[in-house]
């Protein structure tokens, strides 16, 4: 599978003849003018050719009856591919770096809401559209930009500006630095202020984060996690992790990545093994993103061979059971423990195996690397099939994306007939789910013709 679809919210919808009416325009100015004339907002969906199935799933969702009313009455909708000139210009204008993204925008170009990735159910887009509609009144991003450029720096103003940018899915690390730098030193003893900083994801090398770690009493930080609902505590850590990881990738900063790995390990409290796996997962992903092929393949091999490939489906089931039926679990970032069930984690293991198998397929032509990736791919299928056997999971013939990865590895290894047999199974597995399968069919035809690039 070309891109691991862990970012896709795959909830299938029934076919419908109602769909979003995407207008044919060639520029933002034309789209905005039409929206202004009709007194509507703009829905902009940017496709990414690196994930054909993502585009197919989004297109299927756009046919949903759930979207007819909210989009028909309130939005001018436009769809562009980031590989086209129009798509590149729009991606640049709205700071879209990669992947499929949906934006809900007013006629002045203010982003009201953002959905990264794609959703496979129409109601999910309808929900995001409703959120944007509720945000269209009052001060918008452009108003805050004007005030900021004019010198506004009050604590209240910066807090509002940070919140507005986060709602739009835009980075706030520089603003957090300004915000923290302008605070009186004793403000970092204030529970509300420190929680505000943490909730908006300061990178672990930022002055904002370092200031709280050096000045804020430990009991204040601990109380932030203790008093927060479990999912909110997790969200705080995820915000810090996301900001730091993106910064490390952008700067190709290995030292920052090592700092982040240490932070991730610490969020798991006394569960050293899961913390180690999570930190290694992030480090390997970092090496892939900065295109350090040699170190990526070495670290991915060490990561998977020392953990994932030593596990069984039964051990994953036991892990899930323990997480969902805990005696006590640590609150992330705190020494406090409470009895709080957690989400199952087994799916990360077959996702990891498939993802790295595919990425090695992309990055290497060495037989040894490909043979090893083939084993990872096989294991991903074994885990998936064992975990969801005898359940109501729609992929009863297996995960088509995983079978596709295995088939393409076989093809690249010169095992054409086996590859065709497996790709045929991928197509069959996808068909019974009711979701799009054009990319699998196209790959199969290329295999038969001998035209699939290796």
pLDDT in tens, 266-288: 988 777 888 999 999 999 999 99
Averaged pLDDT, 371-394: 90
* pLDDT over 80 (residue 8): no
Q: Over pLDDT 90: what percentage of the chain?
A: 62
Residue carrying structure tokens 């038969």: 448
Q: Phi and psi dihedrals of 103, rounded to 5? A: -120, 145
C-alpha span between 240 and 245 (Å, rounded): 8
Q: 95: how many CB neighbours lie within 10 A of its CB? A: 12
Give the chain's radius of gyration (CA, Å): 24
How many degrees, rounded to 5, is the angle at CA 354 between CA 353 and CA 360?
90
pLDDT for 67:
86
- Cα gap 35→284, rounded to integer Å: 44
Interval 126-140: pLDDT, tens: 999 999 999 999 899
Instruction: At 101, give phi and psi (nearest 5°).
Output: -145, 140
Contacts of 256 (CB under 8 A, 6+ apart): 203, 204, 205, 244, 247, 248
Q: What is d(CA 1, CA 355) in angstroms, rounded to the nearest whole number?
A: 8
Q: Quick one: tokens of 190?
A: 């204030």
pLDDT for the residue numbered 390? 73
Locate 441 and state its tokens.
Answer: 């069919």
| Between residues 426 and 63, the one the model is more confident about | 426
199 and 238 Cβ atoms separated by less than 8 Å: no
Grouping H, G, I as helix, E, B as strand and the rest as coil, residue 338 is strand
Q: If phi over 0 gives left and psi between -120 and 50 gives alpha, with beta otherwise, what is residue 147?
A: alpha
Q: 7: pLDDT confidence band, cut at 50, 70 and 90?
A: very low
**Mean pLDDT to the nearest integer, 30-48:** 93
- Mean pLDDT throughout 246-257? 96
The 10s digit of each residue's pLDDT in 166-196 is 989 889 999 999 999 999 989 999 999 999 9
């Amino acid at each position: 599978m070309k891109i691991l679809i862990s970012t896709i919210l795959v909830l299938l919808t029934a076919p419908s003849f109602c769909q979003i009416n995407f207008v044919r325009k060639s520029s933002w100015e034309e789209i905005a003018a039409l929206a202004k004339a009709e007194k509507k907002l703009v829905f902009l969906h940017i496709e990414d050719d690196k994930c054909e199935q993502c585009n197919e799933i989004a297109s299927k969702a756009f046919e949903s009856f759930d979207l007819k009313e909210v989009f028909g009455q309130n939005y001018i909708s436009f769809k562009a591919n980031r590989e086209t000139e129009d798509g590149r210009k729009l991606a640049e204008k709205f700071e879209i770096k990669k992947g499929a993204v949906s934006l809900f925008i007013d006629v002045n170009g203010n982003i009201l809401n953002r959905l990264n990735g794609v959703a496979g159910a129409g109601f999910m887009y309808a929900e995001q559209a409703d959120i944007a509609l509720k945000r269209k009144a009052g001060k918008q991003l452009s108003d805050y930009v004007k005030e900021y450029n004019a010198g506004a720096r009050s604590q209240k103003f910066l807090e509002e500006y940070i919140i507005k940018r986060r709602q739009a899915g835009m980075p706030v690390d520089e603003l957090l630095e300004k915000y923290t730098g302008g605070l009186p030193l004793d403000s970092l003893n204030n529970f509300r202020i420190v929680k505000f900083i943490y909730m908006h994801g300061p990178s672990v090398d930022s002055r904002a984060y370092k200031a709280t770690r050096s000045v804020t009493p430990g009991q204040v930080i601990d109380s932030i996690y203790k008093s927060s609902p479990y999912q909110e505590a997790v969200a705080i850590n995820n915000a810090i992790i996301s900001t730091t990881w993106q910064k490390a990738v952008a700067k190709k900063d290995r030292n920052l990545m090592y700092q982040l790995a240490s932070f991730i390990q610490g969020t798991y409290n006394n569960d050293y093994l899961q913390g180690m796996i999570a930190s290694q997962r992030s480090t390997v992903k970092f090496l892939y993103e900065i295109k350090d092929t040699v170190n990526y393949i070495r670290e991915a091999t060490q990561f998977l061979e020392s953990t994932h490939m030593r596990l069984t489906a039964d051990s994953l089931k036991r892990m899930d059971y323990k997480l969902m039926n805990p005696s006590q679990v640590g609150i992330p970032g705190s020494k406090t423990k409470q009895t709080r069930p957690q989400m199952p984690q087994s799916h990360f293991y077959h996702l990891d195996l498939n993802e790295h198998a595919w990425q090695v397929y992309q990055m290497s032509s060495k037989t040894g690397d490909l043979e090893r990736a083939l084993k990872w791919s096989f294991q991903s299928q074994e885990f998936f099939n064992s975990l969801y056997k005898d359940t109501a999971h729609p992929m009863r013939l297996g995960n088509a994306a995983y079978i596709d990865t295995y088939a393409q590895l076989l093809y690249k290894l010169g095992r054409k007939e086996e590859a065709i047999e497996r790709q045929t199974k991928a197509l069959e597995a996808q068909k019974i789910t009711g979701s799009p399968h054009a990319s699998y069919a196209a790959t199969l035809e290329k295999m038969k013709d001998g035209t699939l690039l290796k």
